[in-house]
Amino acid sequence: MPIPILKLHNYLLVSIQTEIDDKTAIKFQENLLDKIYKTGASGVVIDLTSVEIIDSFIAKVLGDVVAMSDLMGAKVVLTGIQPAVAMTLIDLGIHMQNIPTALDLEQGLIKLHQELGE
């Protein structure tokens, strides 16, 4: 099942609720970029509150989608990374530097607002 991407004014909201395998992750990357292109969205929040595991592959896909969206002119903020996920990522050696993050969806939207000056 594809990951739903919702439009809210000029933002896109994504909440990843299911266990993601590699194919779903790559498909999501394509779908999100396509949706940014079609809607002209200026910001994206990807909420990871329900995600219990991020391994190096999923981390790479998420990091890449931030960079790709940035190239297109849309800012992406990752929100709601669980404590266990954050600790595991650092143990793995993945620091996800230069990737905008926020505590939750609300803080993520505030961050987009500030960065985009809207």
Partner 1 sequence: MEPQTSCVTIQKEWDIVGARHVARDMARSLGFSTVDQARIATAVSELARNIYLYAKKGQIYFDIIDSVDRKGMNIKVIDSGPGIEDIGEVMQDGFSTSGGLGAGLPGVKRLMDEFDIESEKGVGTVIYVKKWVR
Site for partner 1 in 67-106 (CB under 8 A): 82-85, 87-88, 91-94
Nearer to partner 1 by Cβ, of 6 and 86: the residue is 86
Name which position in 2, 23, 71, 117 contacts partner 1 (CB under 8 A): 23
Here the contacts of 1-9 (C-beta below 8 Å, separation 24 or greater) are 2/27, 2/28, 2/31, 3/28, 3/31, 5/31, 5/32, 5/35, 7/35, 7/39, 7/41
By the rule CB under 8 A, 2 interacts with partner 1: no
Q: How far is the CB of 90 from partner 1 (least distance, A)?
A: 9
Give, in degrees to the nearest 5, the angle at Cα 117 between 49 and 45. Answer: 20
- Point out which residues bind partner 1 (CB under 8 A): 19, 21-23, 52-57, 59-60, 82-85, 87-88, 91-94
